[in-house]
Structure 1
C-alpha cells in the first residue's frame, strides 16, 4: 500500500497517461503526444474540436480529483466531477439526468436522487477501499447517472477512492480496453459483475517502491 502522498505523486507523475487512457476508452481520436500538447495549451492541427474539448475536460477533471482527495464522497462531489468531465459536451452537466438514455441494447432507469443517495451511503459503508472503488464504478456506470461522461466520471471517482486510501489509480489502457468493453457490456446485459471487477483490478496502477 502507498501513502497518500506517494499516491498523489503517482497521479501527478502519470497525469498525461491518465488523461490519454480516459479519453481512449471514450473513443477519442488523439495520440499520446497530441494529448500532452493539448494539456499544455498549445494548438494541435487535425484534431476535431470535440476531441480537444474532451481532453481539456479530462485535464481539468483529473486536476480536481488530485486536489480534492480528502473531500467526502457525496453526490455533490460526484456531480462536480461530472461538471468538469462533461462541460460543453452534454445536454446538462453536473446534474443527474432527467430523461432516458440507451447504451447499445441496455436502457437504464432514470436515476432517482433518493435512491442514488442510498447507494452512495451503501458504497461508502464498504470496508475495503478497492472493493468500494470498484463497486462505485460498476454501480455508477450501469445506472448512467448523467447524460454523458459516465465512464469518465466513474473512473475518476473510483480513482479518488483509491488515491485517498493509498491503493493506486484506476486507468484503463489499450491493453485492457477490449476485455473492459466486453465485461462492461456483460454487466449491463447479463448482470455479470465479477468479470468486470476482475478486469478493473488489472487496471489499477500502483507505484514501484
Structure 2
C-alpha cells in the first residue's frame, strides 16, 4: 500500500533536493509562521536581507537552509545522533538547549488546544528507531512518514520538533532514493487538522495515508506544480549554471 513512488540513486536524490532547496525551505518555514514569498526566500538563502522581513524570520530561513544542506551532504545513516545534530541547527536561534532531548514537560499548540506530549525516554526512542528502520516489510517511504509523525507527536526536543522531524524523514528518503516529503501549501489547512487529530487520538493511519497521497514528491511532482512555476524554472536554470 505504501510502496516507494520513486527510485532514485542516492546521488540523484541529493541533486534533486539541492535543485529544490528554496522551495523546501519555503514550505518548512511555515512551521514557524514565516510568510515570505518564494522569491524573498531565495534572496535570503542567497545571503541578502529583505525589507520588511523580521530578523527572526530570516534566522528561521537561514537555519533551515543550513539544516537541509547538512542532511543532503551527511553520509552517516539516520540515527538519534543525526537527529540531535539537525535540531542543533534548526533550533539554534529558538531553543535554550538546541540538540538536547527534552527532559521536562512541554506542550504544542494545535487546532484542538494545547497538546501535552509524553515524557521523553531516550532508550525507548533509540529502540523505536531501530525497530522501525530494520522492518523489512515497510518501504523507505512508509518508514519515513511514520518516523516523521512519531517525532512530531513525541516532541523529543525543546523546540523545532516539526522542522527536525521533517528533515530527518527526508534524510531517510534521500538515503534510499525515494524522493522527498513536502506538503504543498495548498493543503496546509487540511494538514493542520489531521496533525491535530493525530496528536490527540494517537492514530497515525489517516494522516499517514493522506501524506502518502499528496506529500511524496519526485521530478514529475514539480513539473505538475503551476503555482510559482516560473520561479521554479528560473531557479532550476540558475542552479544548473552554477554547477
Task: Give the TM interval when normalised to the shorter protein.
Answer: over 0.9
Instruction: Work out which of the two has the higher radius of gyration on C-alpha atoms and give 1 or 2.
Output: 2
**Aligned partners of 2:187, 2:16: CA distance in 1, in Å?**
20
**Aligned 8 A contact 1:25 1:172 in 2:** no
- What corresponds to 2:163 in structure 1? 152
Bigger Cα displacement from structure 2, 83-92 vs 121-130: 121-130
**Aligned partners of 1:28, 1:101: CA distance in 2, in Å?**
22
Q: What per-residue deviation string (whole Å, max 9, x for no partner) do you get for residues 92-125 of structure 1?
A: 1011012211113310122111111111112211
**Aligned 8 A contact 1:2 1:207 in 2:** no
- What corresponds to 1:166 in structure 2? 177
Q: Does 1:83 align with 2:88?
A: yes
**Aligned 8 A contact 1:106 1:189 in 2:** yes
Partner residue of 1:65 out of 67, 71, 94? 71
Q: How far off is 1:192 after superposition?
A: 2.4
Q: How far off is 1:5 after superposition?
A: 2.0
**Aligned 8 A contact 1:7 1:207 in 2:** no
**Aligned partners of 2:44, 2:97: CA distance in 1, in Å?**
24
Q: Does 1:193 align with 2:199?
A: no
**Aligned 8 A contact 1:179 1:199 in 2:** no
TM-score (norm 2): 0.82
Bigger Cα displacement from structure 2, 107-116 vs 50-59: 107-116
- What corresponds to 1:10 in structure 2? 16
- What corresponds to 1:124 in structure 2? 133
- What corresponds to 1:19 in structure 2? 25
**Aligned partners of 1:51, 1:73: CA distance in 2, in Å?**
28
- What corresponds to 1:176 in structure 2? 187
Q: How far off is 1:53 after superposition?
A: 0.7
Q: Does 1:112 align with 2:117?
A: no
**Aligned 8 A contact 1:25 1:173 in 2:** no
**Aligned partners of 1:131, 1:155: CA distance in 2, in Å?**
14
**Aligned partners of 1:73, 1:190: CA distance in 2, in Å?**
27
Partner residue of 1:101 out of 101, 106, 109? 106
Q: How far off is 1:179 after superposition?
A: 1.8
Q: What per-residue deviation string (whole Å, max 9, x for no partner) do you get for residues 50-93 of structure 1?
A: 1111001100000001101x312111110001111101211210
**Aligned partners of 2:185, 2:130: CA distance in 1, in Å?**
33
TM-score (norm 1): 0.95
Q: Within 5 Å, give how 1:196-207 maps onto structure 2.
A: 196-201=207-212, 202-207=214-219
**Aligned partners of 1:91, 1:188: CA distance in 2, in Å?**
24
